[in-house]
Amino acid sequence: MYTTILTDLKDGIFTITINRPDKLNALNNAVFTDLDGAINEVYTNVAIKSAIITGAGNKSFVAGADISEFSSYNKEEAITLSKRGQFIFSKIENSPKPIVAAVNGFALGGGCELAMACHFRICSENAKFGQPEVNLGLIPGYGGTQRLTQLIGKSKSMELQMTAQLINAEEALQLKLVNHITTAENLIMKTTEILQLIQTKAPIAISKIIECVNTAVLSDSAYTNGKSGYEKEAEAFGDCFNTQDMKEGTSAFMEKRTAKFKGL
């Protein structure tokens, strides 16, 4: 049924594995379609009590949006893409059942945004987090400008997005971006143990905790339909697609060379 993700349901825990290891599990349109379908399953399948999102292979959770798809997009298409990503990630964030990211390796750009949309994150010792979009003449477009700020605070969020620097698992723990670090081998087991514990609690109470905590963290306007910060992000993401620097940044990545930005 899915072509870019693997799913597995065991003891109420639904594991969704992004499965493009040769592209470090980059999020292309097909992944979005499959991920959306899998999240809909979390909402509707009564046998699913909680979910894990992880990446195939031992190198990467998700290394971002698929940059190779960006070259053909104009501003309007980029805004549509941003809103689609925001919509699916918001569905994850507002799921009435717990969804936890098990981050095995790179969680960059859209990968970091996907992990941040989950209710919390467990990572392996080799995990690396970052929002390196500025290297491409771009900004995060799937909620990253909002959720990174909510999770680690304004100053560090600014620095990480402006410098494109990656942080390791220890730094991510210090910044409260992740709740636990474990070995790569134990990552799914540790995540499963926590979800098993949660599954012994009252499901309706759990869903109310998710609702209330989301309300506390998101500003009034950022919650429900008046998502001003997210609207702004989608518009700004689209604006980047009208710049020469974005064409240069994405071409440079595909051609495996350093980008030369001109401020145009």
Cβ 142 to ligand COA, closest distance in Å?
A: 9
Active site residue 171: no
Restricting to residues 45-64, name those near ligand COA by CB under 6 A: 63-64
Using the rule CB under 6 A, give the single segment among 23-31, 33-41, 179-187, 225-233 that binds ligand COA.
Answer: 23-31
- Catalytic one among 69, 76, 77, 113? 113
CB 80 within 8 A of CB 74: no
Q: Which is nearer to ligand COA, 56 or 206 (CB)?
A: 56
Cβ 166 to ligand COA, closest distance in Å?
A: 8
**Considering the rule CB under 6 A, would residue 187 count as an interface residue with ligand COA?**
no
Q: Give the other-Cβ count within 10 Å of 44's Cβ.
A: 8
Active site residue 113: yes
Restricting to residues 92-151, name those near ligand COA by CB under 6 A: 106, 108-110, 132-133, 135-136, 138
| Helix ranges restricted to H, the chain | 29-44, 75-93, 110-117, 144-152, 154-163, 169-174, 187-199, 203-217, 228-240, 244-254
Q: Cα angle at 253 between 251 and 73, to 5 degrees?
A: 45
| Beta strands at 5-10 and 13-18: parallel, antiparallel or unpaired | antiparallel
CB 109 within 8 A of CB 240: no
Q: Which residues bind ligand COA (CB under 6 A)?
A: 23-24, 26, 63-68, 106, 108-110, 132-133, 135-136, 138
